[in-house]
Amino acid sequence: MADLWQNAMDHAVAAARRAGEVVREALQDDRKVMTKSSSVDLVTQTDQKVEQLIIQSVKEKFPTHRFIGEESVAAGEACVLTDEPTWIIDPIDGTTNFVHAFPFVAVSVGFSVNKQVEFGVVYSCLEDKMFTARRGRGAFCNGEPLQVSQQEDIRQSIIATEFGSSRDTETVDRIFTSLRNIVSIPIHGVRGAGTAAINMCMVASGCVEAYYEIGIHIWDVAAGSLIVSEAGGVLMDVEGGAVDLMSRRIVAANSRTIAESIVKEIDSFSPARDDAPTLGQ
């Protein structure tokens, strides 16, 4: 199977590069913007075009494989992770960035077998950075090995996070309570690229110590989760314990020490799971 999965990963890298070309070309044109769950949950025709490009190319080469795609789920398809080989695709992670030409936009492709991510590909289109990882074989950016930061003092750390697309007052209050708690530790600073995939790749690259968020989706973090762990990092739920990619909650950190320091400060809540029957309906 190792050679087969490597073949699939090579295909994912090639597909992500083609998708990146589509994204860059679209930035030169008018970007028709639509909304999904809220006025700030954006989708463009380019998101849909890129997802179909990737899925179609995979179907031609691996006709028996399954898919979880952000736009497919938004259109009503079930978000179900089985033991079958499954491609988990975010065609444009950072759609709001794309709409505003803010220069962090990623194509994210994770590949799962037996509910375990076997490889992850994140292509930061505008930076031309290709992040890759195979389970047990390390993580890389443009072919160069990645290694998480060795910083163990939360007070000397930079933490990445995002505010999500919900503008519900209670949700916003909890997000800012967590942010206030973490900033007040105190830490060196908070950053956010506007895309979960790139935030996780920054953890893997060692330029931030951790990333946490509540409200992301499996397609945002499937690829990045393996890139973090293969670069020496750890994954954790926001209340501690093992991460569940369907739970829409994650802490990705350079070490368990940093992760646990963050978990202590998070005002946690549980959004509707990605595999809830009503998602996408």
Q: Assign 3-state DSSP to the chain and report helix, strand, coil percentages, each to 5.
A: 35, 25, 40
Within 13 Å of residue 199, how many CA atoms lie on the same side as its CB? Answer: 27
Q: How far apart are CA 263 and CA 237, in angstroms?
A: 8
Catalytic residue among 44, 46, 95, 195: 95
Output b/e per residue, 252-267; b: 16+ Cβ within 10 A.
bbbbeebbebbbebbe
- Residue 175 among the catalytic residues: no
Phi-psi region of 280 (alpha: psi -120 to 50; beta: other; left: phi over 0): left
- Residue 90 among the catalytic residues: yes
Helix (H) or strand (E) holding 210: strand 210-214
- Residue 92 among the catalytic residues: yes
Catalytic residue among 55, 88, 92, 187: 92
Catalytic residue among 220, 230, 265, 274: 220
Catalytic residue among 70, 118, 162, 265: 70
The token duo for 152 is: 């163990």
Q: How far apart are CA 90 and CA 71, in angstroms?
A: 8
Reduce the DSSP state of residue 91 to 3 states and report it. strand
DSSP state of 254: S
Catalytic residue among 93, 162, 209, 265: 93
Sheet holding 144-145, edge to edge: 66-69, 86-93, 106-113, 116-124, 129-134, 139-141, 144-145
- Residue 93 among the catalytic residues: yes
Catalytic residue among 47, 51, 71, 90: 90
- Residue 274 among the catalytic residues: no
Residues 6+ apart with CB under 8 A from 73: 79, 219, 274, 279, 280
Residues catalogued as catalytic: 70, 90, 92-93, 95, 220
